[in-house]
Amino acid sequence: MVFIRDKKVKGHSYAYLVRNIWDNKNGRVRQKIVKYLGRSSKVVLEDIPKEFQKDPNIVTFIACHSSDAEKMEFTMKEKMLELLIRNDTKSLADIFYRYSQIFGLVKFYERLLTPVMYKVGELWKEGRLDVATEHVCSSTAHTLVEIINERVSKSPGANRKALKILICTPEGEYHSLGCMVIESFLRSKGYFVSNIAPSVPSDAFISFADKFNPDLIMISITLGENIDASNKLINKILESRISFPPILVGGIGIESITIKNYNDKLKKVKFLKGIKLSGILPSIREVTKVAPKGSKTIKK
């Protein structure tokens, strides 16, 4: 195993490429310096011996410390795509741990995982990735986010006054990765979250929500063809005898549809078009404090 060790001297960080070696004499692992790399912020991939350049630990370190972060993030995304195809969740988790320590959870999702998953979809549409491999990538990504969520769940939980948020997808929508990402993000911010995605029948949703009593409902749509099912779910919620909170609807499935002004019936519904993960919190604060003046619905 190789990795880069960061050592601070008089306020400056210096990098060393090291390898773990088993010491039979002492019965323990010791570190052997392979190469001194110089200032951590100036280390580039070309400084690393070729046999180690694709190692996730090496790529992640350079991306987190290099002044040319954009270039290194591109390299990391290429590496993550390779790891998704190989179903290597351990190496993906290593990238997450190292990257998030510097840049945080949100930037990992926005800068790395989301663009990579978009790339997977593009490759599949272009016929450059077969269905089976696309499914492997999706399954691996789900496992990775489950690992992240498990880590988030071990951090200090939501307090008793935290908002209760219910996340779901409409019936027929089986893409749940977005919901899992939102779940871990909101949990990391101290919200009390219940995620019941994917594909929830309207009656089952009403029954669960009645017991959970959420302060906010979030509906995720990945495929545009599920817009009608989402509208049916929203109408079912509004027509129920239960007094429900505001509803946020988001996901790439609503990016290609038209949002128009509608009547007072949907005054508690807000559609999040073109909003990144980091932009969700202001929308949550807006709808849970002040009801929106206008009201909207969506059409294909």
Note the pLDDT tens digit of each residue in 210-254: 899 999 999 999 998 999 999 899 988 888 866 678 999 999 998
Superfamily of structural domain 2-151? Methionine synthase domain (1.10.1240.10)
* 180 residue type, one letter: M
* 108 residue type, one letter: F
Poorest-pLDDT segment among 27-41, 195-209, 215-229, 261-275:
261-275
The single residue listed with the structure tokens 């929500």 is: 209
> Does the model's pTM come out above 0.95?
no
Structure letter (DSSP) for residue 50: G
Listed by start position, the domains of the chain span 2-151, 157-299
Closest-CA residue to 245 (of 294, 288, 194, 196): 288
Query: Could you give the strand order of the β-sheet that contains 269-271, starting from the edge strand earlier in sequence?
Result: 192-195, 164-168, 216-220, 247-250, 269-271
pLDDT tens-digit map of 67-81: 666 777 888 899 999
Calpha distance 255→275 (Å, rounded): 10
Tokens of 171: 């019936």
Q: What is the CATH number of domain 157-299?
A: 3.40.50.280
Please say whether the beta carbons of 177 and 205 come within 8 A. Answer: no
Please say whether the beta carbons of 256 and 289 come within 8 A. Answer: no
